[in-house]
Amino acid sequence: MKLNRQNNSAFTLVELVLATVIGALVVIVALSAYHNVSRNRTEADYYSRLMAQGRYALNRIRDDLANFYPCNTDNGISFVGIPSVDTTAAENHSDQLRFYVAAEPKFEKNLDHFTEVPLEQTAGDLYEIEYQLKTNENDHTKALYRRIGTLIYPQQGNPAGRSMRIAQNIKSLQFEYYEKSSDLWQSQWHHNRAGPDLVRVSMLLSDDSQNKFKPVMISQEIALPRRTDDWSNNDNQQTDTTELSAP
């Protein structure tokens, strides 16, 4: 008696279940990997953008401090560091820094459109520079602004001038000042005879309203140039800015 053998090429129920489970696992692993890669890329772009803004701001402050020019004024030295009122937490710092710089007229040729007065009103070779945070009234975000004003009478200063935004998303700005003779860091500077030896600039940056990422803290210590200029104690003397040359 011959047995008829039939070739059964269909999948059994167990095989179908196993294939479904394996396929689902592969999809889950692939989606998880894609999500991780996408999240890592978003996080990297986020920190890269904040670091770029912070580095640009630090470089701008460093370049300005490299041109620091000491000059007697009615209120003392031409370098004033004002601490913020609320210094209880790092994210609440909003310090101000104001000082004089000497530079060629081309020093300001590449300013952008964030200005308050025409360019011709700030042409010269001796300037007052000020850095401070300002808050946007619409979204309450903070940005770092740099003000520059030509000094016609350095003893009097120039509270006007042009203001430009150089960095956004800065939650905190802190300046600290080092004096070599006392070997101390200070939170403010208003010395009537000299500028500090070092300035430490610290910024806390964040652009995350949903608190998904941690803020970025960057800091840099900047040495001020040592000038040998003779300072006059005569408050009535006026300085002819046309005779001042770039350092």
> What's the CA gap between 66 and 102, in Å, rounded?
9
Total number of domains constituting the chain = 1
> Taking Cα atoms as reference points, which of 207, 234, 202 lies closest to residue 218?
202
Asked if residue 153 lies in contact with residue 124, where contact means CB atoms within 8 angstroms, the answer is no
Q: Which residue has the tokens 């998303």?
A: 169
Q: How many Å separate Cα 19 from the centre of its chain?
A: 55
Asked if the structure places residue 14 within a domain, the reply is no
Asked if the structure places residue 16 within a domain, the reply is no
Query: HSE-up of 125 (CA within 13 Å, CB side)?
Result: 11
Asked if the structure places residue 224 within a domain, the reply is yes
For the ranges 19-23, 133-137, 200-204, the maximum mean pLDDT occurs at 200-204
Identify the pLDDT of residue 126: 85
> What's the CA gap between 204 and 173, in Å, rounded?
7
Asked if the structure places residue 110 within a domain, the reply is yes
Domain around 100: 43-243
Asked if the structure places residue 1 within a domain, the reply is no
84: Cβ–Cβ under 8 A, 6 or more apart, which residues? 92, 93, 94, 95, 174
pLDDT tens column, 73-123: 665 568 888 887 655 555 567 889 999 888 755 545 444 433 444 444 445
- Reported as a pLDDT band with limits 50, 70 and 90, residue 201 is very high
The answer to whether residue 168 scores a pLDDT higher than 90 is no
Q: What is the pTM of this model?
A: 0.70
